[in-house]
């Protein structure tokens, strides 16, 4: 695979990320603030995966790029909420840190995919 992440592999990785995020959210204590944080974190993490799947079925290259960019935006929001959970010490750091690392890697992969798709779109315009 030459270090490249294929579409199906990335789909599986995003699904695993969403499941891990769900489990982390479920472990947060249930006061008003933590409920809000859990909902925001899960919403953004799951939206990243859903938008990636929509991108894969894009109707055009522009549609593909747009949905990839939305997936990246949602991953960045999930990263924000994970940082908040970590900094506010809402849960043990060893539960959050692997998810933060995975979020960074997913952001890099999807960011690179956006750049590649935009480069491919240039000659077509």
For the chain, what is the HEC assignment?
CCCCCCHHHHHHHHHHHHHHHHHHHHHCCCCHHHHHHHHHHHHHHHHHHHHHHHHHCCCCHHHHHHHHHHHHHHHHHHHHHHHHHHHCCCCCHHHHHHHHHHHHHHHHHHHHHHHHHHHHHHHHC
Q: Where are the domains of the chain?
A: 8-124
In the predicted model, is pLDDT for residue 2 greater than 50? no
pLDDT of residue 39: 97
In the predicted model, is pLDDT for residue 114 greater than 50? yes
Give, in words, the CATH class of 8-124.
Answer: mainly alpha
Does this model's pTM top 0.75? My answer is yes
Model confidence pLDDT, tens digit, residues 14-23: 999 999 999 9
Model confidence pLDDT, tens digit, residues 30-73: 899 999 999 999 999 999 999 999 999 989 999 999 999 999 99
């Amino acid at each position: 695979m030459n270090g490249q992440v294929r579409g199906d592999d990335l789909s599986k990785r995003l699904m695993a990320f969403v499941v891990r995020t769900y489990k982390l959210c479920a472990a947060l204590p249930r006061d008003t603030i933590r409920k809000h944080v859990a909902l925001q974190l899960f919403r953004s993490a799951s939206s990243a995966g859903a938008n990636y799947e929509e991108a894969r079925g894009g109707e055009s290259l522009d549609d593909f790029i747009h949905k990839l960019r939305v997936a990246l935006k949602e991953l960045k929001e999930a990263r924000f909420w994970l940082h908040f959970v970590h900094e506010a010490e809402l849960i043990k750091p060893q539960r959050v840190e692997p998810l933060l690392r995975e979020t960074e890697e997913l952001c890099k992969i999807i960011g690179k995919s956006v750049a590649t798709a935009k480069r491919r779109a240039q000659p077509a315009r």
